[in-house]
Amino acid sequence: MSNKDNILNESFLRKFDVKHLLVLLHLKRAKLDYAKSIQINTKLRMEDVREILKFLEEENIIERFHGSSVKRTEAKYKLAHEVRKHHTYYRLSKIGDHILRILRNIEKYFELKTGHKKAFDVLKFLGYAECEHLGTVARYISIKKEEAKNIVNKLISMNVVEECKAKVIKRKHRKAKPKRETRTHHKYYRLSKLGEMLLRYLRYL
């Protein structure tokens, strides 16, 4: 990506997934950071972080920091006031900043990725509810159950939602419809670890 193109197009979105977005959000917050620190903070696998950084750098969305030392004001996750640079540090490029400004409309991103306007509403609801079945999701979001099913399946394919495997769900894990405990006669869904991290980082977008 050589200029500030409109990145919300089908070609780019096929390559740009939630993990890429999570790393960009982390760099927005951290200002400067290196691969191992990114991995620790985002909970992504190290091999995924390396591939994501390679892709983002090739697309000119991030850039390497070439200074010989890193100050704490430049890298928020550094504890020392200033340290010698022993790692390869990355930061957002102007294009990366531009992308995150566009993605402040995160609802549009999820609509384009899933084909459903209510996709991000479903994600947020599952973030609140923790574990819930499609009927309750549909009622809370005011959509038909079939649409809720389609959205959840799309979110599963994006690795931000997963099925709850517990046979019995405790009250604290079913906040939208609390009971002492619920036996799972339906399929219940919740955020994956990736989905949880994404919602946490979106507070800083």
Segments forming the whole domain that contains residue 157: 108-202
Q: State the pLDDT at residue 15.
A: 86
Same domain, 16 and 98: yes
Residue where a domain stops, chosen among 41, 73, 104: 104
Q: State the pLDDT at residue 93.
A: 96
Q: State the pLDDT at residue 146.
A: 97
Q: State the pLDDT at residue 204.
A: 73
Same domain, 99 and 130: no
Q: State the pLDDT at residue 174.
A: 53
Is 194 inside a domain boundary?
yes
Same domain, 150 and 186: yes
CB atoms within 10 A of CB 46: 12
Residue where a domain stops, chosen among 80, 104, 128: 104
Is 5 inside a domain boundary?
no
Is 62 inside a domain boundary?
yes
Same domain, 98 and 130: no
Q: State the pLDDT at residue 192.
A: 96
Same domain, 20 and 59: yes
- Distance of alpha carbon 23 from alpha carbon 41, whole angstroms: 10
Same domain, 67 and 132: no
Is 4 inside a domain boundary?
no
Say how far residue 21 (Cα) sits from the centre of its chain: 6
Q: 8-16: long-range contacts at Cβ-Cβ below 8 A with a sequence spacing of 24 or more?
A: 8/102, 8/108, 8/109, 8/112, 10/112, 13/112, 13/113, 15/55
Pair of tokens at residue 186: 């339906």
Same domain, 33 and 72: yes
Q: State the pLDDT at residue 145.
A: 95
Is 1 inside a domain boundary?
no
Same domain, 91 and 173: no
Residue where a domain stops, chosen among 104, 119, 148: 104
CATH number at residue 48: 1.10.10.10
Task: Please say whether the beta carbons of 21 and 102 come within 8 A.
Answer: no
- Distance of alpha carbon 94 from alpha carbon 173, whole angstroms: 41
Q: State the pLDDT at residue 79.
A: 40
Walk along the chain (205 residues) in steps of 10 and give the mean pLDDT of each run. Answer: 58 88 94 93 96 96 78 47 65 93 91 95 93 92 97 97 74 51 70 96 82
Looking at the structure of the chain, the number of domains it has is 2
